[in-house]
Structure 1
Amino acid sequence: MCTVTIVPLIDPHGGRTGFRIASNRDESRRRPPAHPPQSRAFGLRRAILPIDPTGGGTWIAVNDAGLAMTLLNRNPGDMRGRAFPDRPSRGTIIPDLLGVETLASARARVEAIAPDRYAPFRLVASDGERWFEAVSEAQRVTLRDQPLDRPVMFTSSGLGDAVVEGPRRELFEGWFGDDAGAWPAQQETFHRHRWEDRPALSVCMSRDDARSVSLTVVTVTAGGVSLTYHGAPPDESAEDVTHRLPRAACRERQP
């Protein structure tokens, strides 16, 4: 499970210079660690992504068109703890989208996904101007599309998404002020936050069977894209691994 934030990057004059996505990955203590990020080709595009060794997919990626996307498992109360051994890994969803160039094209591909093909998921993608959230439900994939004008957060938990949504949302709403110049630093500290008396509900979570195992930060600007992978709990020291790609020309146009 995960906590994800997206923040626009704003210069001192109020101009938009890019955006950042940060993702805490929360996993079972028994799950093998992910492989560090690598650059791969997806059609005419290149992308950076860490690899999950169990399913071979990923939970976060960015391509050289400047599209970034991340995936969260959904754990509605009536399905919490349910396994879906007969379905493909949700980690294969993002690789199927990395060859596109525009947010609209990514959205169209997501809309075509059969909702019962995968276990419940929440996909979030952004191009820095807008973001969309795709939520798989029993009979459909529901999409929400919004402009990216201030920080946004998405979260999930194996305890049940509703259990952590309230406390993490309250923390998030009080964490980011109106000073856009402070948002990147506030994003960094938010993803390392842990309540001493409520570690299981924290953004940087810990409980007997699971914990936040990594922090991944994607940065997109006009000059290029990068993905920085911190392969340890966000509040613990570890050597970060960063991969970069220059922005490449796109053939598609946003509608």
Structure 2
Amino acid sequence: MCTVSWLHHETGFELLCNRDEKLTRKPAAAPCVQRRGGMRFLTPVDGDHGGSWITANEHGVALCLLNGANLGGASTPASKAAGPSRGLILLQLAAAPSAMAACEQLARMDLLQTPPFTLVALEPGLPASVAEWNGTELAILPNADPFMPLISSSFDTHAVQRQRRTEFALRTRARLDAPSLYRFHESHGSGASAYTPCMHRPGAQTVSFSWVKVDDRSIEFFYSPAAPCQWQPGQTLRLERRA
């Protein structure tokens, strides 16, 4: 479960992500530098399966994965899938030199045993790309900015998406910029609940907040292991952009 938004600017982009999880799951490890095929990338690591939900590499390509087919809907119940963790698939794509290269690599994978998911891929100078696996088919949308924010929830899915999008419209009505996106991610609307971007309900809540900033010189990855409303100190890692 996640809420993901992004913003393009002249030299790059910013990507924000609330990760919502059941409290029975193990805590994730904070972001670290990993390598794949000679490419360095920054990513936190899931405590249960060793995968991830968000990455950013030296080329300035960032990926973020949400559970479920959040645009078209799943055609195959997730309970029937027994393949590898979706987060491990994300790590296989983490070294992609472009957003479309990540989507094309994903299209060559055998996903038949993988539960539905939605992947957003960003790089400087281009609209976001979204790939959605619904359990049967993979759809790739190369101009996916109109679908922002992306929202996943296993709890009352459509109502959660509807309320968070309403909150997004409220928070960004005056101006779509980085501060307004952050206010959206930390917001509780009229009261913290399962439906708000900063999510709190019995047995589950927003467990971390990630903020990736990419410009023409560097990649900056801020990570806090708590809900945005809890103001827990985080850490920031940086990589220089590869030419």
Same fold (TM over 0.5): yes
CA contact 1:195–1:202 (8 Å) conserved in 2? yes
Pairwise CA distance, 1:107 = 1.6
User: In structure 2, how many angstroms separate the alpha carbons of the residues matched to 1:84 and 1:71?
Assistant: 20
User: In structure 2, how many angstroms separate the alpha carbons of the residues matched to 1:124 and 1:52?
Assistant: 18
* Runs (5+) with no aligned partner, structure 1: 10-15, 250-255
The one-character-per-residue Cα deviations of 1:53-74 (angstroms, maximum 9, x if unpaired) are 2110100010000000100001
SS in structure 2 opposite 1:3? strand
Does 1:98 find its partner at 2:90?
A: no
CA contact 1:6–1:151 (8 Å) conserved in 2? no
- State the partner residue of 2:162: 166
User: In structure 2, how many angstroms separate the alpha carbons of the residues matched to 1:248 and 1:127?
Assistant: 13
CA contact 1:8–1:151 (8 Å) conserved in 2? no
Residues 51-66 of structure 1 correspond to what in structure 2 (within 5 A)? Answer: 51-66=45-60
User: In structure 2, how many angstroms separate the alpha carbons of the residues matched to 1:135 and 1:151?
Assistant: 12
Q: What amino acid is the match of 1:19?
A: F
- State the partner residue of 1:252: none
Residues 32-181 of structure 1 correspond to what in structure 2 (within 5 A)? Answer: 32-74=26-68, 83=79, 86-128=82-124, 129-146=126-143, 152-177=148-173, 179=175
User: In structure 2, how many angstroms separate the alpha carbons of the residues matched to 1:218 and 1:140?
Assistant: 29
CA contact 2:121–2:130 (8 Å) conserved in 1? yes
User: In structure 2, how many angstroms separate the alpha carbons of the residues matched to 1:78 and 1:195?
Assistant: 32
Q: What amino acid is the match of 1:3?
A: T
Does 1:213 find its partner at 2:210?
A: no
Runs (4 or more) in structure 1 with deviation over 2 Å come to 75-80, 82-86, 177-180, 195-198
- State the partner residue of 1:29: 23
Pairwise CA distance, 1:167 = 1.0
User: In structure 1, how many angstroms separate the alpha carbons of the residues matched to 2:24 and 2:105?
Assistant: 33
CA contact 2:82–2:114 (8 Å) conserved in 1? no
User: In structure 1, how many angstroms separate the alpha carbons of the residues matched to 2:242 and 2:101?
Assistant: 17
- Range 136-145 or range 51-60, more displaced: 136-145
RMSD over equivalenced CA pairs, Å? 2.1
Pairwise CA distance, 1:83 = 3.6
Equivalent position to 1:224, from 214, 218, 225: 218
CA contact 1:5–1:151 (8 Å) conserved in 2? no
